[in-house]
Structure 1
């Protein structure tokens, strides 16, 4: 049966494959090149407003009109107020591990893409994950994954993960 969810998931995978991002192949997930921030066409975290996770408690699409350049990426925001909050303290709102999949950084030492709906705020920090299955794995040991991710991030960022 074709559902809205399966259509959206298929479209996301086709879009990701066409853009050269994480795809599923014979060998499994393909990792992304080392970079400080997960971007598509230079836009961080799929254009999602990082401040909205904290302010609205949900992923909200950002708008190019409210763009801000930081850490080698263009960040989009839903409002001028959210852009200003981020500009005042980017490290408070930016996702950990550059917005790459937190589970993959912790468990595999690799950089994978993320989906805006797979997120968690833990002790005031935003973490994003690849998909629902990975999010479920992440939730099984959040403190352990954060400890391992924090330890691995410097090497992963250098491409040494």
Structure 2
């Protein structure tokens, strides 16, 4: 129930944000900036991957929420970490630990469109972190990993053109 309420809240904020930009209340002309960003982040806080520590995907059995006390800005958004040590590891090689394609759903990319990946729906494959929009998308990936990875890599450059923010490196 909480996840559904959060999704509804995101949709409402997106609609409000679109309306404010269109009305010119932010002083920017309509269409000046995309609401879909290169790195998936929480629309309320702006924090990448809902505040989960990206290092913990690789070191723990479950991803762990980070803390604003251990924050690092990369790719135009803040990232949270459970410790200074994890933050320092990320700082040395963010492209290794950050979700691929900025956290956009791998299967959506493979199918030719963008959707935000959910930090709790993930797979580590070939030491890379991939996020998925739904459990069904994750299951589809597990059936055809190589094909999905190849198609996502093919589609990413074109889809990424319309994103706002610094470019997320493709894998």
Q: What TM-score bracket applies, with the shorter chain setting the length? A: 0.7 to 0.9
CA distance in 2, matches of 1:119, 1:19: 25
1:4 — aligned with what?
A: none
Which runs of 5 or more structure 1 residues have no equivalent in the other structure? 1-6, 22-31
Alpha-carbon distance change, 8 to 42 in structure 1, aligned in 2, over 3 angstroms: closer
Q: What TM-score does the superposition give when structure 1 sets the normalisation length? A: 0.80
2:110 — aligned with what?
A: 106
1:35 — aligned with what?
A: 37
- 1:1-161 alignment to 2 at 5 Å? 7-20=1-14, 33-40=35-42, 41-108=45-112, 110-159=113-162
2:31 — aligned with what?
A: none
CA distance in 1, matches of 2:38, 2:88: 21
Q: Is the 8 A contact 2:123 2:129 kept in 1?
A: yes
How far apart are 1:11 and its partner, in Å? 2.5
Q: Of the two, which has the highest radius of gyration?
A: 2
| Superposed CA RMSD | 2.0
How far apart are 1:111 and its partner, in Å? 2.1
CA distance in 1, matches of 2:144, 2:10: 28
How far apart are 1:85 and its partner, in Å? 0.6
SS of the aligned residue for 2:37 comes to coil
The superposition leaves residues 72-122 of structure 1 with CA deviations (integer Å, 9 ceiling, x where unpaired) of 1111111111111100110110110001111111112x2212222110111
CA distance in 1, matches of 2:128, 2:80: 19
Q: Is the 8 A contact 1:62 1:77 kept in 2?
A: yes
The superposition leaves residues 16-58 of structure 1 with CA deviations (integer Å, 9 ceiling, x where unpaired) of 323329xxxxxxxxxx845321112421111111111001132
